[in-house]
């Protein structure tokens, strides 16, 4: 027969094992929660980066630059008679 000391020791080991499983499960849930939060943040950063690229291309478009040069600096594309060709000898 098993002695009461062995049974008590087995019960203690079972309880410690159960608590360990619960603790590890808790840690896994915490880490998974952190992972999903970081993935959400990464997705938001991707969206923001896409918006930034779109805005950058809009502000740097040639049409916008030409319009601002004409409006603010009174510049225009040269007429054919205003173009000088220089030959190198």
User: pLDDT tens, 10-55?
Assistant: 999 999 999 999 999 999 999 999 999 999 999 999 999 999 999 9
What is the reported pLDDT for 59?
Answer: 84
- Domain membership flag for residue 29: no
Q: How many CB atoms lie within 10 A of CB 66?
A: 13
Domain tally, the chain: 1
The structure tokens 């952190």 sit at 34
For residue 61, the enclosing domain spans 49-75
In a domain, 68, yes or no: yes
Query: What is the largest distance, in Å, between two alpha-carbon atoms of the chain?
Result: 116
Contact 76, 70 (CB under 8 A): yes
Domain-located, residue 65: yes
Residue 55 domain flag? yes
Distance in angstroms (rounded) separating the CA atoms of residues 24 and 30: 10
Whether residue 57 is contained in a domain is answered as yes
Confidence at 1, pLDDT banded by 50, 70, 90: low
């Amino acid at each position: 027969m098993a002695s009461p000391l062995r049974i008590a020791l087995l019960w203690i080991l079972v309880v410690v094992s159960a608590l360990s499983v619960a603790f590890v499960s808790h840690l896994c849930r915490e880490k998974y929660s952190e992972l999903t939060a970081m993935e959400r943040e990464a997705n938001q950063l991707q969206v923001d980066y896409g918006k930034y690229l779109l805005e950058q291309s809009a502000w740097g478009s040639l049409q916008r630059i030409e319009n601002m040069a004409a409006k603010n600096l009174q510049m225009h594309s040269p007429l054919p008679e205003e173009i000088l060709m220089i030959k190198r000898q």
